[in-house]
Amino acid sequence: MRILNIVMYCLPVFIFCMPVHAQQAAKEATGKALVFGQAKGNCLACHGLPGLGAELTGNAGPPLIAMQARFPDKSVLRAKIWDATATNPASFMPPFGKHGILDEGEIDQVVEFIHGL
Amino acid sequence: MRMIVVALACFIVITGTANAGPEQDRVKLLSLYKRQHPDIKFEQYADGALALDPDSLAQFRSIMEFPPFAGELEKGEKLWKAPLRSGKTYADCLPNGGRMIAGNYPLFDNTRSKVVTLEDVINDCRVANGEEAYAPGDPKTMGVLMTHVRALSDGMKMNIKVEGEGALKAFEEGKKTFYARAGQLNFSCASCHVDNVGNRMRAEVLSFAVGQATHWPVFRGGDQLVTLQKRYADCHLYMRHVPDALGSERYNNLEYFHSYLSNGLTLRANVFRR
């Protein structure tokens, strides 16, 4: 009976939390998929990413490591991905936001994933 | 006396700077590459990315011992020898019977005020002798024929000339296409083949622009025939530019500029590429 009570109490908490967890997991998976995939983000065409099983990574850009140390302000990282040529006209990096390579939501997902590296 | 001095001074300035632009561009690029990759010798630029990747170079050499595309080269020779409707052959049309000439193309034709590629010369010959022009870069017709036409110049050094106002203008147009960033990814040809030579995009090593014009057609994957301008179009497509039709004025001017950069390097047609 006691166990049943606990379950009864906990159930709403579980139900309430579940979608959030699922949503976050999906968001992370999509951010990673965009970074790894060749069709859209394709970040690894130029950037190395040690660990996480990344294969055939390029080296035309700096590796995606220590991102929080390099970009304490997440919005600076986002602006860089949106249009790197705004702050450095010679930058090789495609302007993912400005040229609509990724949509705004996709850029957010990529920023979330990369900033955690 | 004063007039003579002035005239002489003008003459020296004009002759001295006649090729200053193109030649300066080429030399400047070579010195940049020398700084980027001091160990690579001039002749190695003709090897493209293979010069920077010893494993791929070894693979290339072993494949080239028995090239899987030998059948295509035989077809090319047959096309070359077949008489045109008038009874004449390509050898009758081309300067020097077609031998040791590919390194002079593209050239700027002053009477027509435009760049003429070697494919254009072949098509002019076809039309003048009662045949229809081939589609530029078509791997089944023009491409196969070019395997033989260009091989007749194997060993020749690239020798593109830019002389006169019209030629210089065409060269500058080609240069503009080469250096202008465009397309969704915002890359120019130079983004990869000047600024990032030797770096990898995924597994592909980016090659020197100098030397790229020396070895066409190539057989990608061993059997897919690709001409130089087809490669421009593919490259533009992959980099999300809008590609031109092969043989367009823009591509001809690009080929003119791009080929000039390879001046002094040895031609070798029909090579394997991954």
pTM of the model as a whole: 0.87
The amino acid occupying position B177 is: T
Check CB contact under 8 Å for A60 and B185: no
CA gyration radius, chain B? 20
pLDDT digits (tens, 9 = 90+) for B210-242: 999 999 999 999 999 999 999 999 999 999 999
User: What pLDDT score was predicted for residue A3?
Assistant: 55
How many CA within 13 A on the CB side of residue B153? 28
pLDDT band at A2 (very low <50, low <70, confident <90, very high): low
Residue B182: phi and psi, rounded to 5, are -160, 180
Mean pLDDT on A80-98: 97
Nearest chain B residue to A60, by CA: B199
**pLDDT at residue A17 above 70?**
no
**pLDDT at residue B17 above 80?**
no
Which residue, B209, B215, B89, B213, is CA-closest to B147?
A: B215
User: What pLDDT score was predicted for residue A14?
Assistant: 45
pLDDT digits (tens, 9 = 90+) for B162-188: 999 999 999 999 999 999 999 999 999
Please state, for a pLDDT cut of 90, what percent of chain B lies above it: 92
pLDDT band at B85 (very low <50, low <70, confident <90, very high): very high
Please state, for a pLDDT cut of 90, what percent of chain A lies above it: 65
Check CB contact under 8 Å for A58 and B202: yes
d(CA B167, CA B29): 20
Mean pLDDT on A76-92: 97
CA distances from A22 to A15, A17, A28, A32, A106 (A): 11, 9, 10, 15, 17
When scoring A92, A93, A99 by the number of chain B Cβ atoms within 10 A, the one with the most, hence best to mutate, is A92
Nearest chain B residue to A56, by CA: B202
Mean pLDDT on A25-53: 85
Which ipTM was obtained for this model?
0.84
Q: Residue A3 is encoded by which pair of tokens?
A: 């166990």
Residues of B in contact with A62 (CB under 8 A): none
- The overall average pLDDT reported for chain A is 83
**pLDDT at residue B4 above 60?**
no
Please name every residue paired with B271 in a beta bridge, in sequence order, or none if there are none.
Answer: B218
Place of tokens 């394997």: B272
User: What pLDDT score was predicted for residue B273?
Assistant: 95
pLDDT band at B128 (very low <50, low <70, confident <90, very high): very high
Place of tokens 């990898």: B200
**pLDDT at residue B145 above 90?**
yes
Residues of A in contact with B202 (CB under 8 A): 38, 44-45, 56-58
Residues of A in contact with B185 (CB under 8 A): 94, 99, 101
Check CB contact under 8 Å for B186 and A99: yes
